[in-house]
Structure 1
């Protein structure tokens, strides 16, 4: 987030090609004395939210290439115990402004500064999530953590 308007890789997309990347949750791993503990970050009701994204398009010979990225920023107090960076979540009331090509950069930065994490919770889950063969709702089941695991 801090370098979007400056870095050549993002500068043009930040001015003209903002997008929303929908999700109902995501995973982050916290380093603990017992190993890496996965967390499911989501709304209490598991409803949809959107990450701040940028997209790009290139033409190469006869090929069109599209790519996108999720904007990240320094972690807020909720995420700091788990990771030093976090993806930016856009509040629903800001979707239209984020997507509007005419929104000025100052307003875009203001949207990125809002804390879309206030409505989210971290749920410790089983390390089953680490294996792609486990593709079932059971991977989202909350687990209890011992206090020594969190130190």
Structure 2
């Protein structure tokens, strides 16, 4: 699964260079320990234009009775997207990029869980494959929300955890956002990212607390591998 991640670079120029052309409508702060239920930066395709918006992490399908379902829907398994009512329609019509530059996973060593941060070898931002929806509250308020898709682990990640978020290659991001693209070809993108382009390192137990969101969360306490 993916329950914590980071986006430490919030400079509009660099975000534009990596994900542009994209319409950026707000400034956001560097984040070192993003947790479910928070507002997160995502890119969507709206009428042929890419827009960077802030969505609630935890999907609330438009047909949901209330927003309490969100805490259960932070991740969606790639293998069952077309089977689950919570995800099926969004997978076909409302796909998004969830921006990140690293994510955390915990490795079991006996009775202890050791936190690791997983990044690209070049240190640059990347995008998780995500889905989104808009829910209308009984009071008439619109709430945009998203979910991160997961798949089986690659050879790097399987030493830490059995699953990992789907990370999209840069040249496939536009296809992911295109709702007109054949869905069977889109589904083919939902596979583990190449291990050789990633690295992982142990980090402090600070990330265990959702209240901690500071640079020390990403500092290595052991060597890269």
TM over 0.5: yes
* Structure 2 CA distance for aligned equivalents of residues 133 and 114 of structure 1: 30
* 1:120 equivalent in structure 2: 198
Q: Give the match for residue 4 of structure 1.
A: 81
Could you tell me the TM-score, scaled by structure 1's length?
A: 0.86
| Aligned-partner Cα distance in 2 for 1:114–1:142 | 24
Does the 8 Å CA contact 1:88/1:116 hold for their aligned counterparts? no
**TM-score normalised by length of structure 2:** 0.59
Answering whether residue 104 of structure 2 is matched by residue 27 of structure 1, we say yes
Q: CA deviation at 1:132?
A: 4.9
- Contact 1:44–1:121 (CA<8 Å) still a contact in 2? yes
3-state SS in 2 of match to 1:71: strand
8 A contact 1:91–1:116 mirrored in 2:
no
Tell me the CA shift for residue 125 of structure 1. Answer: 1.4
What is the match of residue 45 of structure 1? 122
- 5+ unaligned residues in a row in structure 2: which ranges? 1-77
Larger radius of gyration: 1
CA-CA distance at 1:133 after TM superposition: 5.7
Matched, 1:55 2:132: yes
Flag the structure with more relative contact order, 1 or 2, with Cα contacts below 8 A and sequence separation at least 6: 1
CA–CA distance in structure 2, aligned partners of residues 4 and 134 of structure 1: 32
Change (3 A) 1:64 1:138: closer
Does the 8 Å CA contact 1:19/1:52 hold for their aligned counterparts? yes
Q: Is the 8 A contact 1:57 1:66 kept in 2?
A: yes
Aligned length: 145
RMSD between aligned alpha carbons? 1.9
